[in-house]
Amino acid sequence: MSEKIQIRLATPADAEAIVCVLAKSFIEYQSRYTAAGFTATVLNPQQIEARMSEGPLWVALEDGAFVGTVSVVLKPEGLYIRGMAVDPAARGKGIGRKLLACAEAFALQNGCERLFLSTTPFLSRAIKLYEHYGFQRSGGAPDNLFGTPLFTMTRILQTADQML
């Protein structure tokens, strides 16, 4: 894993760069999404800024260039991970694991016992990463994003109280 990878909280000034990371990450799959599903995945800068008001959003930088992102929102049932993307040119460097670790640390700091996310069945590299990180397919909504198929994956966390 490159020591040149830095993860930090995003700021509103990062919104355009985050849009670029999302676009680069999902463009190869665009034909598998419905038009509305793709638009809901590759957000615009205003939507990125709105997400920042709902929960933390992190960016990954390699040598100062934006190469990854993830955002989270606290929900009653746990921490929901969304908008995760890694630039195809930067994949295989552990960036996804680092981003998931940020989400997990935030979940534990906030007493969450569960991480969950929704993904599409055709994002096989992402699914493999999530499975290696301990996520398992689970029931629950949503089952589609504007007509694009989705399924939920969950990871149960061991909180400090459970370790005692």
Is the model's pLDDT at 159 over the cut of 70? no
> What local confidence, expressed as pLDDT, does residue 139 receive?
78
Q: Of 1, 118, 20, which Cα lies nearest the Cα of 69?
A: 20
- Lookup result for tokens 């034909």: 31
Residues contacting 87, CB < 8 A, separation 6+: 21, 24, 25, 66, 67, 68
- Looking at the structure of the chain, the number of domains it has is 1
- Cα separation of the two ends of the chain: 32
What value does the mean pLDDT take over residues 4-21? 96
CA 160 vs. chain centroid, Å, equals: 24
Encode pLDDT of 35-70 as tens digits: 999 999 999 999 999 999 999 999 999 999 999 999
Q: Which two tokens stand for residue 157?
A: 């966390």
CB 153 within 8 A of CB 136: yes
Residues found in the chain: 164
- Residue 105 maps to which CATH number? 3.40.630.30
pLDDT-based confidence at 2, cuts 50/70/90? very low
The range of the structural domain enclosing residue 57 comes to 5-163
Is the model's pLDDT at 140 over the cut of 80? no
Encode pLDDT of 79-129 as tens digits: 999 999 999 999 999 999 999 999 999 999 999 999 999 999 999 999 999
